[in-house]
Structure 1
Amino acid sequence: MSDLSKLIGERLRIARKEKGLSQEELGSYSDLHPTYIGQLERGEKNITLETLDKILSSLGIELNEFFSFSFLDEDLVIYQIVNRLKKLSNNDLQLILKMLGNH
């Protein structure tokens, strides 16, 4: 899936957890299967605007609020860093560790 699907999925996961809901509870509230919620959160499925609206309504979040999240949001920054690190070679990772002072 695309980086956008993964980013939206991660944002959904963060929003769900902030509300203290399990995937099963969110699925029940939004009339969606919990497995589908998990697939969306992992970025395995593309989400339609209608489905996103349904989920966000269940979370009590406005569509514009959801998309106004800052890329400086700590969880999203960590997510982006980890995804980029996963794509690097072992040599590149060693170089980064060296630059960070962790020989």
Structure 2
Amino acid sequence: MPCVTDLAVVEVDEVKEQALANAAKALAHPARIRILRILARQQGCLNSDLVSELGLAQSTVSEHLRILKVAGFVIAEPNPPRTCFSVDQARLDQFRELLSYL
């Protein structure tokens, strides 16, 4: 029978495993990886710039950005009439830390 401390470790492991799985799912498309690389290189970017650089439809790029934003990898700052996107470096660092858990 496991002791209480063992259960706490298992619960922490499960939380880390779920967080890693969620982050990996958000990054599980080559276009999303490319978007992050572009944004990191350019210190932010407008959606229309991404569309031309990726060669994808506006709606497709918007959906990839939405997924990255929900996962916390991308920050969107309104700059009417457009939105400026940038990488959340703290979230990338957190993901790297989760990877080291493996």
Same fold flag (TM > 0.5): no
TM-score, normalised to structure 1, is 0.32
Richer in strand (by share):
2
TM-score, normalised to structure 2, is 0.32
